[in-house]
Structure 1
């Protein structure tokens, strides 16, 4: 089985595709101090990587959202609800956690099917 690594670095790859499944962790490129905006930014990054992999948000199987502040849950959900493919929503969980970069309020990890 072939493993495809998108933009591999020494420490990590941007995404990995194996067995027609893409694995990706999105961080926001817009680091304003607002969970709604950061979530929208991270979701836009997901759209970009899925397009590169011949997939889209309707093919997301699993999503894990990492949230720094519990008080940002509603703002994160607002951005998610505006973006998610209604009727094709993945299984999802949200984890309250600290992140390695202080500016990050949210990270999103997804697993999605790709079209061959």
Structure 2
């Protein structure tokens, strides 16, 4: 079986695909770093969607997701954006935790596992 990688850098790739399963790297805001959590969340979800598309999947095929917030007391702000983004009836298994992220301007990081279309 072949392993496919998307967006490969020296340290990580945006996604690795094996046996029809897409493993996404943690995605963080690029343009909205340092902006309100809702804006960062919307950007991160859009970036996840782009990576899923490049991998032959989409947001309705996400199997599990891990969300890291720098301040868990702001989960309602993040959930407002998340709830509008997830297609009805396709909510994945999910964990949301408070964590210190690598950059002080990032308030959220999301990683996921999804199935490719046709699998």
TM-score, normalized by length of structure 2? 0.92
SS of residue in 2 equivalent to 1:13: coil
Unaligned runs of 5+ residues in structure 2 are none
Q: Which residue of 1 aligns with 2:114?
A: 112
1:44-87 deviation per Cα after TM superposition (whole angstroms, max 9, x unaligned):
00110111111111100000000001221111000100101110
Q: Which residue, out of 42, 45, 48, partners 2:44? A: 42
TM-fit CA distance, 1:32? 3.8
Q: Which residue, out of 58, 61, 65, partners 1:59? A: 61
TM-score, normalized by length of structure 1? 0.94
The answer on whether the counterparts of 2:6 and 2:15 sit within 8 Å (CA) in structure 1 is yes
Superposed structure 1 runs of 4+ greater than 3 Å apart: none
